[in-house]
Amino acid sequence: MAVLAESGSNPDVELLYDINGLAKDAPHWFDRVMEFVGEYGLLLAMVLLILWCWWSVRRRGGEDAAPSVAALVWAPLAAGLAVLVNVPIRGFVERPRPFVDHQGLDVLVSGKTDFSFVSDHATITMALGVGLFVAHRRFGLIGIGLALLEGFCRVYMGVHYPTDVVGGFALGTAVVLLLSPPATALLTPLMRAVERSPRAGWLVRRRSAAAGDRGNTLLPSARKPLDTEERDLAA
């Protein structure tokens, strides 16, 4: 298919010029910051957020530790799968980058020669954000917020149309949610097996938390002889 948006009267193109126009009015240093954030920074932030969520889940422990870690493992797997799904989509749509068909854009990143629809960055970040939301609501909301910011940055940088970003959001969300039930059904037993492992169990639950759970389970029975002895002494 040819270009999806060629006319300046197209709302997609108008929004592109409106958002990218902010780059023209911004200081040079701010554009360099947005270039780094949109190209690398937010992807790194998503990875750190997933690691933070994993650390929080394993530290808390409990019966939900294994399913939560399984959902966290699924998030990057889903993001990678969504990027693979995007390969034939890009080849089918064959939409050039916006700066190829539209003049006057302030392009912050050079060397983009591949097709535009859909945005890989938007796909990856939204897949990670939605995957985080499946595992942990609070972390997931932060992740989705970062994904929305990533989409804005891609248009601001002049390398994607707004609909490229929306398509990436839809693709990442669809892959995560549609395949989440079978993925978690496979990954949760695996994480429970890892949790029981003497060597790798710390990946799912902190050892002290697991020991504390066992200690709390044995506490009532362990207290009975002591209570009996205390009553005898009192008598």
Q: Distance between the two ends of the chain, CA-based, in angstroms?
A: 92
CA-CA distance, 83 to 87, in Å (whole number)? 7
pLDDT digits (tens, 9 = 90+) for 35-78: 999 999 999 999 999 999 998 888 877 777 888 899 999 999 99
pLDDT value of position 3 = 42
Q: Tell me the C-alpha to C-alpha distance, in Å, between residue 4 and each of 10, 37, 80, 117, 171.
A: 10, 27, 26, 9, 18
- Tokens 């060397």 sit on residue: 111
Number of other CB atoms surrounding residue 61 within 10 Å: 19
Alpha carbon 74 to its chain centroid, in Å, reads 10
**Residue pair 57/65 in contact by the 8 Å Cβ criterion:** yes
pLDDT value of position 233 = 41
Token couple for 142: 């932060």
CA-CA distance, 12 to 123, in Å (whole number)? 18
CA-CA distance, 45 to 150, in Å (whole number)? 11
Name the stretches of the chain with pLDDT < 70: 1-9, 207-235
pLDDT value of position 207 = 63
**Residue pair 155/161 in contact by the 8 Å Cβ criterion:** yes
Query: What residues contact residue 180 under an 8 Å CB cut-off, 6+ apart?
Result: 71, 74, 78, 131, 134
Picking from 35, 187, 37, the residue whose alpha carbon sits closest to that of residue 107 is: 35
pLDDT value of position 6 = 45
pLDDT value of position 130 = 96
pLDDT value of position 222 = 38
Token couple for 206: 């902190």
**Residue pair 89/117 in contact by the 8 Å Cβ criterion:** yes
pLDDT value of position 198 = 83
Residues 158-190 as b or e (16 or more Cβ within 10 Å = b):
bbbbbbbbbbbbebbbbbbeeebeebbeebbee
Q: Which strand (E) or helix (H) includes residue 27?
A: none
Picking from 162, 156, 175, 153, the residue whose alpha carbon sits closest to that of residue 95 is: 162
pLDDT digits (tens, 9 = 90+) for 200-225: 778 787 766 554 444 443 334 434 44
Which of 1.20.144, 3.40.50, 2.60.60, 3.10.450 is the CATH number of 11-204? 1.20.144
**Residue pair 164/118 in contact by the 8 Å Cβ criterion:** yes
